[in-house]
């Protein structure tokens, strides 16, 4: 039986000899062999100017190869050819095929309308690409994602999104609140002091202090929202009772809530796809990270290093979670029972801590008025300011102390890193948002006399007019103080703790020097953003310019956090999956929006407006302004608007929505069954390939033995 000759690489001499000179070699060169690899096809997707495999080794043809390849790549970008032959993703191929078909139809028809439509579509595509390149802080976010992981990058992405939301809310408030105030009769003057004539049954309201005001008092007024700020466009009480202004004032609140809801839903739905894929196990395999995560369009050493770090962090997350899942799979029944007992005890401890924190917030808010009446507090302006900030100080202190305790408790429960992040976020967001609700409940208790309108303090006007003559402004001042104190607390932590710790420990060698390097705590920082945004949503009705203040705060916060991150922080030793951030963070933000809607809607529909301030004075409720404005519209529009609130419109709408929902569920179930069947086929094909490979190895070994 003949023996098959041993293979020798072409271009090399016989075995045991040195390779022949390049000019004397026969057969294909190394460059031509490498260009036949399937991975060489990705060069067409990288864009012009990228060298082919082995081009640097051909010294004499280097310039010609680069020029020829650049011309070929440019030609291919202009006329890529059939979509089936393009080394692009399936979605890009489909979009290319549809665009090519539309272009051919427009060119074949020869009509002006089709040509104008083609030009308009191309202009839109170019404009979309230009807007994408103008995306703010794009390069900064890439650096953060590559150096600190996708989790840290998700915080800055959320901060940019919230900054955009606040800019839109500020524009709406300025256009629908400030401009009508100035254009429709000018800004109002301060309320007149009570005179000798008949006084109002609801008392008097004069926010301006009498006499000369010292500079420390002006500074305290700036921090507390009282004095000159109380009668300014910043708060509700400044705006006069005008028909058009009252309507636009109320509509701006609904417009901001609806716009925020739509944008958050859009962001959460886009992240839901990535979360479902990540949790289903389709994209969490290591082969996906190794073979499909690289971007061949990268140029420059910096971009390459950032991409390498990003893939390394993703692999680190997968390995950590796989290790925890393996440990959970080998637990015995006794070990599992012990784990659940520990989790039950730790959750009871968390509930006790939350209950103590909520009681403290309720006490601090309810005791503010009583503490102000003490002689020592009333004589000392600084103590009075501290009493004013007592609820904000207590809420910020609780939010600063309890999240690290929750983090320590969560590590003892034995969950995966992603599950730990979710639990920390849930507990912390419950702490922050529930503390805000407790504060609002305490204020509601003061405004409505504990929900008893027949009480002596609330009987005349429907609210506690003696302590709170303009209760809307008081609510706005509380939200203003929460926002301002949150900003001051963050600045103090950065300037007085983080930077000095880094400077002092940086001078010390060894392990002591490493203490100055901290990790960027993504869950705490994200919850801080959501808490601040929830405060703005609650206070935007009572403090119309609060979104504008929050815009400046978030802009300052972005650069301060960026400076802190690159100066004092190191990459996290335990990262988490980016899909958790892409979906869960917007969902928590949506929860904050829902919670903020409760006190605002309750105030609009159920609490009587102040009789001495604001654009709704003289109405039974704030919502009465809407029916009154509708009654001034033409009769046809009135009939249409009232038809939208009848059963004749609601019942068909409910039926159509139910049919569409049932159809969508049926379609999703059919697609799910098809996907499951395709997965089984893929697994079967993989087993067939393994079996055929084993048979081929066995047959080749038998053939060699013969």
Please report, in angstroms and rounded to a whole number, the separation of the first and last CA atoms in the chain.
9
* Average pLDDT per block of 10 residues along the chain, 706 residues long: 40 41 45 49 46 44 47 49 59 70 65 71 72 73 76 85 93 90 72 51 71 71 81 87 88 92 84 58 58 64 70 74 75 79 87 86 76 72 75 81 84 75 80 84 83 77 82 89 88 83 70 65 82 91 92 92 83 58 78 90 88 84 85 84 81 89 86 82 81 80 65
* Residue with tokens 């405060």, as numbered in its chain: 535
The secondary structure of 207-245 as a DSSP string is -SPPS---HHHHHHHHHHT-GGGTTSTTSGGGS---HHH
**Residue 12: strand, helix, or coil:** coil
What pLDDT is attached to residue 18? 40
What pLDDT is attached to residue 551? 94
Question: Phi and psi for 226 in degrees, rounded to 5?
Answer: -100, -175
What pLDDT is attached to residue 459? 79
Kindly tell me the burial class for residue 38, based on how many C-beta atoms sit within 10 Å of its own C-beta (0-12, 13-18, 19 or more): exposed
Rounded Cα gap, residues 702 and 619, in angstroms: 97
Q: Is there a contact between 225 and 234 (Cβ–Cβ < 8 Å)?
A: yes
Q: Is 614 left (phi over 0), alpha (psi -120 to 50) or beta?
A: left
What pLDDT is attached to residue 56? 43
What pLDDT is attached to residue 368? 74
**Residue 518: strand, helix, or coil:** strand
Q: 442: Cβ–Cβ under 8 A, 6 or more apart, which residues?
A: 361, 362, 365, 366, 391
Q: 580: Cβ–Cβ under 8 A, 6 or more apart, which residues?
A: 151, 275, 418, 421, 422
What pLDDT is attached to residue 7? 40
Q: 443: Cβ–Cβ under 8 A, 6 or more apart, which residues?
A: 365, 474, 475, 478
What pLDDT is attached to residue 188? 66
Rounded Cα gap, residues 680 and 683, in angstroms: 5
CA angle (253 as vertex; 248, 255 as ends), nearest 5: 85
């Amino acid at each position: 039986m003949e023996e098959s000759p041993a293979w020798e690489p072409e271009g090399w001499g016989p075995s045991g000899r040195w390779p022949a000179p390049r000019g004397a070699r026969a057969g294909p060169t190394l460059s031509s062999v490498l260009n036949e690899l399937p991975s060489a096809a990705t060069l067409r997707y990288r864009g012009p100017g990228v060298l082919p495999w082995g081009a640097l080794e051909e010294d004499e043809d280097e310039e010609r190869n680069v020029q020829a390849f650049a011309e070929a790549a440019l030609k291919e970008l202009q006329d890529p050819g059939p979509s089936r032959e393009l080394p692009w993703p399936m979605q890009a191929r489909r979009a290319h095929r549809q665009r090519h078909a539309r272009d051919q139809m427009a060119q074949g028809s020869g009509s002006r309308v089709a040509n104008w439509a083609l030009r308009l579509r191309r202009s839109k595509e170019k404009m979309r690409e230009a807007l994408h390149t103008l995306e703010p802080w794009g390069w900064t976010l890439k650096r953060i994602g590559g150096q600190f992981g996708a989790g840290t990058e998700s915080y800055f992405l959320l901060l940019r999104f919230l900054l955009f939301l606040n800019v839109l809310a500020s524009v709406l408030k300025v256009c629908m609140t400030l401009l009508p105030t100035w254009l429709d009769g000018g800004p109002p003057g301060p309320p007149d002091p009570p005179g000798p004539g008949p006084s109002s049954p609801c008392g008097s309201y004069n926010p301006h202090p009498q006499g000369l005001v010292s500079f420390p008092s002006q500074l305290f007024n700036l921090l507390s929202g009282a004095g000159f700020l109380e009668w300014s466009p910043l708060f509700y009480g400044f705006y006069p009772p005008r028909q058009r202004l009252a309507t636009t004032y109320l509509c701006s609140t609904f417009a901001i809530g609806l716009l925020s809801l739509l944008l958050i839903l859009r962001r959460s739905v886009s992240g839901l796809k990535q979360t479902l894929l990540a949790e289903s196990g389709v994209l969490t395999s290591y082969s996906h990270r190794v073979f499909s995560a690289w971007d061949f369009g990268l140029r420059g050493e910096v971009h390459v290093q950032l991409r390498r770090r990003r893939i390394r962090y993703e692999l680190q997350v997968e390995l950590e979670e796989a290790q925890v899942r393996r440990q959970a799979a080998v637990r015995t029944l006794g070990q599992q029972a012990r784990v659940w007992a520990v989790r039950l005890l730790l959750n009871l401890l968390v509930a006790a801590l939350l209950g103590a924190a909520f009681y403290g917030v309720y006490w601090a808010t309810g005791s503010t008025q009583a503490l102000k009446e003490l002689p020592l507090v009333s004589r000392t302006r600084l103590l009075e300011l501290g009493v004013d900030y007592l609820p904000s100080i207590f809420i910020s202190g609780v939010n600063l102390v309890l999240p690290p305790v929750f983090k320590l408790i969560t590590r003892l429960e034995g969950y995966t890193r992603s599950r730990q992040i979710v639990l920390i976020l849930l507990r912390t967001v419950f702490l922050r948002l529930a503390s805000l609700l407790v504060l609002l409940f305490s204020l509601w208790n003061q405004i409505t006399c504990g929900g008893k309108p027949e009480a002596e303090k609330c009987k005349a006007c429907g609210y506690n007019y003696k302590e709170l003559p303009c209760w809307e402004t008081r609510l706005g001042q509380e939200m203003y103080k929460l926002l301002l104190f949150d900003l001051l607390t963050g600045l103090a932590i950065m300037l007085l703790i983080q930077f000095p710790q880094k400077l002092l420990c940086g001078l010390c060698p060894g392990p002591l020097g490493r203490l100055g390097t901290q990790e960027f705590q993504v869950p705490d920082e994200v919850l801080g953003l959501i808490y601040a945004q929830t405060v703005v949503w609650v206070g935007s009705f009572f403090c119309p310019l609060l979104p504008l203040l929050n815009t400046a705060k978030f802009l300052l916060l972005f650069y301060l956090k960026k400076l802190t991150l690159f100066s004092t922080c190191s990459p996290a030793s335990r990262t988490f999956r980016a899909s958790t951030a892409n979906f869960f963070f917007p969902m928590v933000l949506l929860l904050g929006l829902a919670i903020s809607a409760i006190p605002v809607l309750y105030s609009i529909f159920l609490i009587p407006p102040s009789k001495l301030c604001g654009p709704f004075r003289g109405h039974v409720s704030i919502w009465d302004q809407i029916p009154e404005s509708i009654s001034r519209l033409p009769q046809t529009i009135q009939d249409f608007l009232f038809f939208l609130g009848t059963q004749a419109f609601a019942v068909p709408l409910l039926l159509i929505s139910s049919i569409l929902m049932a159809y969508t569920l049926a379609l999703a179930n059919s697609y799910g069954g098809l996907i499951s069947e395709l997965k089984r086929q893929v697994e079967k094909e993989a087993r067939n390939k393994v079996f055929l490979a084993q048979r081929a190895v066995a047959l080749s070994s038998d053939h060699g033995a013969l």
